[in-house]
Structure 1
């Protein structure tokens, strides 16, 4: 049996990094930037949410949002790659 920590590590770190690296061909710097953007978004979203009276239900919301990490990190890496490619083309022109 797999331990709970290994399952969480796979769901939140290993699978998104593998998808971003293999499918999007993102380098580790781009993946780190994408994680920073996603974690910043979650901190802002749940920080604003915690100041309301809805704090009791934040645990399940955080768990659900963390599972969105798997598709979000490769998509953010793709957006960052397209943005940097466009900037490089404009700089070369």
Structure 2
């Protein structure tokens, strides 16, 4: 759950705080209490959809809930909001926990 919906149009490289932003290639569910399966695309240097992952979106009334798989590379991120632009002044990480690998 996030304060804005996932971006549903192709952003440019370096948007969303990542070199390779990921966006919703499809539409959000229109009806409350419905769930849809959609494709998220990763922007590449020569394509708006250089690679794809399958995601689930549920319309929960006042917000959308997303089931997003971990992304396979860095620096990449899912895009949320109207423009996909990163606004560092209004968004921050509250805490980070590092877990050592076994």
TM class by smaller structure = under 0.3
Larger strand proportion of the pair: 2
> Larger RCO: Structure 1 or Structure 2 (Cα < 8 Å, ≥ 6 residues apart)?
1
Structure showing greater radius of gyration is 1
Larger helix proportion of the pair: 1
